[in-house]
Structure 1
Amino acid sequence: MTVGLTADRKGAPDSETLRNALRRWEYNKNRREADRPAEVAAALNWVRKTSVPLADLAEFEGITMALGACARKLDGTAAAPSYYTRRRRVLYNVLKYAVQRKRLAVNPIDGLDWKPTEDDEVREEVDPAVVPSPRQMTELLTAVSYAGPRRGPRMVAFFACVYYAMMRPGEVVSLRESDCKLPATGWGRLTLAGSKPSVGTEWTDSGEYHDDRGLKGRHRKAKRPVPIPPDLVRILRGHIDRYGVGSDGRLFRTERGGVLLPSGYGRTWHKARTLALAPAEEASGLARRPYDLRHAGVSLRLNAGVPPTQVAEWAGHSVEVLLKIYAKVIAGQDHLWEGRIDDALGG
């Protein structure tokens, strides 16, 4: 967004150098005062000279330009609503700080009735075409076990959690044995209490690649219970029997006991898709990302007729967000509701 608030692109450094200078130096408090390479110093000097004055953001044209920048990705296309919301929140807090420092009289976003233009309109809907069916999911999870003789079998339960429990990958990385109720028969329960998202060593206080956080969108000590079907109970029991748990109780680690990285489980998933899918399916967007398995789990419950309020609670969404993201999935349920209405009418 900083680059989007420059008055003149004349003399601008190349995009990669500029964003590297901002992200790795200016925005990183641990390196902000360190000696900088000449090209980094030059790029930051250009930003300081060409950035629009803060006072411009108090005007309608200035603040809408800033919000428009929040609504676009690097390639100029519309950002997802969640991405836009995060950036707008950051911008709001920056302006709030400016008010506290008496650099602005009021926060210009307060009371502003502004929505992205058609070009900037933010969209985030799950395309049903990327959501694997239950049959395809069974085949994909089987393929994971063959995606590398040592890593593949260890990762089956990981991807099964994303699908059957609708978990975010960072939540699966953080899952501990004490979070799991896994009876010998029937349904089980996971009580999710945290997440270990991958943020990079430069952005954590500990210097670790992962950050220990609470559940997304909830206070730090909140927990989210999720009922899990017998298939996942069986898979998790088998995983624990075969691989045990880490010294901290976590179920999923690397072979050397380290924290799983997106690059590692991403490669495993890529191999599994190649093994499980037909060439046309692999070339499509079907289950392209591990996160698409979470979409599949949510879609499965919605298509089974579970009320959206309940699905949202299990998945860790607000109802509003769930209805927006899965609008096309819900819209495809007409035949289900028509049949139930027929039954109610005695037809």
Structure 2
Amino acid sequence: MRHVVQFVHSFKIGGSEVLAESLAKGLSKKKWKCSFWTMSSEGHLRQRLVESHIGAASFDCSAGASFSTMLKIIPSLRQHKVSALITHHFRQLFHAVPAALLTGTPLIHVEHDYHFYSDGLRYLPILRRLLLFVSSFVVVSEELVAEFRQGLGSDVPCIAIPNGVDTECFQKRNEIRLSMRSQHGYDQDCLVIGTCCRLEPVKQLNLLLTAFAQYFRSNGKARLVIVGDGSLSGELKHFAQNAGISDQVVFAGAQGNVDEYLCMFDIFALTSVNEGLPLAVLEAMSAELPVVSTDVGSLAAVVNDDTGILVQEQSPEAIAGAFGSLENPVTRKTLGQSARNRVLQHHSQESMVNAYNKILSASMKSPLRCLLRLSA
């Protein structure tokens, strides 16, 4: 059986890890044996993978460059008879290239955003050299194609495979909505604003909390639910308490039933300082939620006047105003239906899996194409 390994940073539940998990489940249906390798063993995703019959292993290298990790990858590729290796983000590619070359394993590299390189321009020349040894270089949106071609040079082959989500899993279900609201003590008059993300600085959740505090002054029936965990958990709870909204904010922690939480929400909010094309937003849109988001990364490609509000100014006033603009249930329903249609047409899991399956199958036919390109 063909065996594809996806190489991610850790077993923490983040955007690229969730995408890789979704891709693995889809590729399994295409008769691929799928495994996860990680640099760090941290996180709760391992158990989910095992339950889905997806192999999971870690090289226990949480930071920096590791020559010993590079050496460990070589026998791992051979022992597990890996047919193709997909790396997500720069560090995994850096460690995988030597082993892929020595074993003749086709290598596909995926980048989910550009801010790592805009913050560290010194990595761009290194990435350009590493990409010489890659069968396919994939980014998750057309907007990222333009950014990477500008940063790396227009001669670097780069293709876009938009992120996709399971539209059967993430859909509006009224019975789940009623059940989840009952569990949290919310009646149908409550306007529930929600987000699902890592509790890390890049997500700017202090901005979301401040905006919600302002909005709550004008709508006492508003509630905020934050699904996810991270290093800022304690700090953000303290922030909410100081803002006087701790009774109106739920920190739900990491949850395995994100689809059910989305059913409970009325509005999905994202206040990140940078992003690629986040799966969390696509999942919310698939569940017929209008989105309020900061204008970062590739979000402008999916959040517009038909699907929500893209906030140009990263200020509490602007975000609170956006919440106020979506108080009308009819408006939210119209935007939510348009949002789901957008996902169905352009961001389904099926279309994403088919695209990756195509480039994986092509890479199997010419595993040493990278070396031939160098000698040309």
User: Aligning the two structures, in what range does the TM-score lie when normalised by the shorter sequence?
Assistant: 0.3 to 0.5
- Tell me which protein shows more helix as a share of its residues: 1
TM-score normalised by structure 2 residue count: 0.31
TM-score by length of 1: 0.33
Max Rg structure: 1
Name the structure with the higher strand share.
2
